[in-house]
Amino acid sequence: MKKTLALTAFLIFTVMAFAQKDRPNIVWLTCEDISPTLSMYGDSTAKTPNLDQLAKEGIVFDNVFAVVGVCAPSRSSIITGMYPTSIGTMHMRTAKDIMSWGARKYKKEGMGVDINHKTVPQYSAVIPAQVKCFPEYMRMQGYYCINNQKTDYQFAAPVTAWDENNPKGDWSHTPKGKPFFYVFNHGVTHESQIWKRKNLPLTVDPKTVPLPSYYPDDPVVRKDVARNYSNIEELDRQIGEKIQRLKDAGLYDNTIIFFFSDHGGPLPRGKRLHYDSGLKVPFIVRIPEKYKKKYGLDPSWVKNGRVDALISFVDLAPTMLSITGYPIPGYMQGYAFMGPQKVEKQRKYIFGTGDRFDEYTDRNRIVRDHRYLYVRNYHPDLPAYKDIAYRKNIDMMNRLLELHKLGRLNPAQNYWFRMYKTKEEFYDCKTDPDNVHNIIDDPQYKEKIDEMRTAMDNWLAETGDMGEIPEKEMVMQMWPGGIQPLTETPVVHKKGRTVTLTCGTEGASIAYLISDKDFTPDLNAGWQVYYEPVKVPRGKYLYVMSQRIGYKESEIVKEKF
């Protein structure tokens, strides 16, 4: 009998170990601020051999959209699987939570954003208690999760979100026998690199770059457009280095690779806009052959290596959980498009939002299907163009303003600078891919417009829209009295050397660390996610802390065993 039990236990352990070993690694090679201006989307201006090869071996998605056309709100949707307007992360930007673990201390006032002469304080968004960063769930499934390096979630990343979250984070640090989830964010295509790299040699000839209809044919414009394409070529080189490392380590065919941008392109009339130029992104996934059946897409979605389905950034978190085997939480607003929990039915619409961008506020909501774009403007009296100071570091932005003032822009080029907006806008993205011809009053589209109005109304009702709340009032709800709430100190319950951990703050995650050292651990000390009782070896120290997202983290509890 004992031999039988021992054999059964051994077989179970062997099966579990094999399942762990056979699970795919997942790598996100993300970048900032590019639209689908790549050869696999029909634009061969930038030479991108590494991305071309990834597309050839993988699947190209033709209709992937960010939820917001700027990084921080967009990244909050990626990490939570929630619309920013549902969790209060829609304003760009709440604080200095940009890199790594984020700023841990906040001033009552100090952001200096003036909105209708009302200063909005610096804050970390307090999101609904049940909402977590999705890598936390992956860690519970045995994945080693590494982020290098940007977070920018609108809240400081809790230590439970990542095993490593810093510029030195690397998949090579993964403990033996564990699969890894590795995110590397490439910043070379960011908007700021248009001016920071402007004196570097161009690798793309300004004379040859294509110009959308909303740009005039001007030398200053052409130079910045060429800089953008040149930055994309440097991005491709960097992507190639990451892929080669995986190949050299023998991991290429054990790893699902995702490539995408955090929103649309960096140039004026792209980033921060709710049109295709700001929301539509390139998206490529390479799935090794042995993983395609279990972890891939529904084969009916893929035709000639391409996917036409509408995909939103809120779909990324549930998709990662579907691949890694964690049950998708019911609160997530996205849908898995890969893995065992993938949906069968494709989206009919995607939704997007725009609220405060830096020092200017507005409120726009959009619905997009495969062909049409519907926009609802809540402040039609405000100009369409926002004179954002940061964007004016780009030479061509100042040139566009100059040409506008001189009256030297045609109607398509002038469209962005209109002083007033209609309450609604409607575009045929097939015949008008630049979204410069508003056909909201064309009677032949009345039925389609009514359909998309209804879709918008239903979505707003289903998801809630915190954009109705003035931002300062919302912050005071999150931080009563303007003071950041504090996560309660976790409680250690001992039964011998087995420990159970609890925290009185609703929605708080608990992190622990077992060490032979008596020290004060920092945020990079290797904190583990608590989700089941832990056995602490005799003579070791146990450190415990807790944090609800948006709250200040608790004090660290120390126990010696």
| Residue partners of 478: CB distance under 8 A and separation at least 6 | 88, 123, 125, 126, 550
Same domain, 179 and 269: yes
Same domain, 283 and 418: no
Same domain, 220 and 333: yes
**pLDDT (0 to 100) of residue 21:** 58
pLDDT band of residue 372 (cuts 50, 70, 90) is very high
Question: Within 13 Å and on the Cβ side, how many CA atoms surround 127?
Answer: 29
Where is the domain boundary, 322, 347, 372?
347
Using the predicted structure, report yes or no on whether residue 19 has a pLDDT greater than 80. no
Classify residue 72: in a domain, yes or no: yes
**pLDDT (0 to 100) of residue 118:** 58
Report the C-alpha gap between 154 and 357 in whole angstroms.
13
Classify residue 493: in a domain, yes or no: yes
Same domain, 425 and 539: no
pLDDT band of residue 423 (cuts 50, 70, 90) is very high
Contact 141, 326 (CB under 8 A): yes
Same domain, 312 and 296: yes
Using the predicted structure, report yes or no on whether residue 13 has a pLDDT greater than 90. no
**pLDDT (0 to 100) of residue 95:** 81
Taking phi over 0 as left and psi of -120 to 50 as alpha, with beta for the rest, 313 belongs to: alpha
Where is the domain boundary, 347, 365, 394?
347
Per-residue pLDDT averaged across 256-279, rounded? 98
Per-residue pLDDT averaged across 321-333, rounded? 98
Residues with a catalytic annotation lie at 71
Centre a 10 Å sphere on the Cβ of residue 470 and count the other Cβ atoms it contains.
14
343-356 per-position pLDDT tens digit: 999 999 999 999 99
Classify residue 1: in a domain, yes or no: no
Q: Looking at residue 344, what DSSP letter applies?
A: S
**pLDDT (0 to 100) of residue 149:** 86
The structural domain count of the chain equals 3
Task: Indicate the average pLDDT of the chain.
Answer: 93
**pLDDT (0 to 100) of residue 119:** 73
pLDDT band of residue 12 (cuts 50, 70, 90) is very low
**pLDDT (0 to 100) of residue 120:** 79
Classify residue 7: in a domain, yes or no: no
Classify residue 303: in a domain, yes or no: yes
Per-residue pLDDT averaged across 361-382, rounded? 97
CATH assignment of the domain containing 540: 2.60.40.10
Same domain, 291 and 393: no
Classify residue 57: in a domain, yes or no: yes
Centre a 10 Å sphere on the Cβ of residue 221 and count the other Cβ atoms it contains.
23
Using the predicted structure, report yes or no on whether residue 15 has a pLDDT greater than 90. no
Using the predicted structure, report yes or no on whether residue 6 has a pLDDT greater than 70. no
Same domain, 93 and 38: yes
Helical segments of 307-408, H only: 316-324, 395-405
Contact 65, 264 (CB under 8 A): no
Same domain, 504 and 444: no
pLDDT band of residue 111 (cuts 50, 70, 90) is very low
Judged by DSSP in three states, 511 sits in strand
Where is the domain boundary, 405, 432, 463?
463
Query: Measured in whole angstroms, how far is the alpha carbon of residue 514 from the centre of its chain?
Result: 32
Classify residue 470: in a domain, yes or no: no
Report the C-alpha gap between 223 and 201 in whole angstroms.
11
| Whole-prediction pTM | 0.94
pLDDT band of residue 121 (cuts 50, 70, 90) is confident
Per-residue pLDDT averaged across 170-181, rounded? 97
Domain span holding position 530: 485-560
Classify residue 272: in a domain, yes or no: yes
**pLDDT (0 to 100) of residue 98:** 79
Same domain, 371 and 497: no
Same domain, 403 and 541: no
213-227 per-position pLDDT tens digit: 999 999 999 999 999
Relative to beta strand 180-186, strand 255-261 is unpaired
**pLDDT (0 to 100) of residue 105:** 60
Per-residue pLDDT averaged across 419-437, rounded? 98
Same domain, 222 and 364: no
| Residue (of 349, 354, 369, 364) closest to 430 by Cα position | 369
Same domain, 391 and 288: no
453-479 per-position pLDDT tens digit: 999 999 999 999 999 999 999 999 999
End-to-end Cα spacing for the chain: 36
**pLDDT (0 to 100) of residue 116:** 45
CATH assignment of the domain containing 248: 3.40.720.10
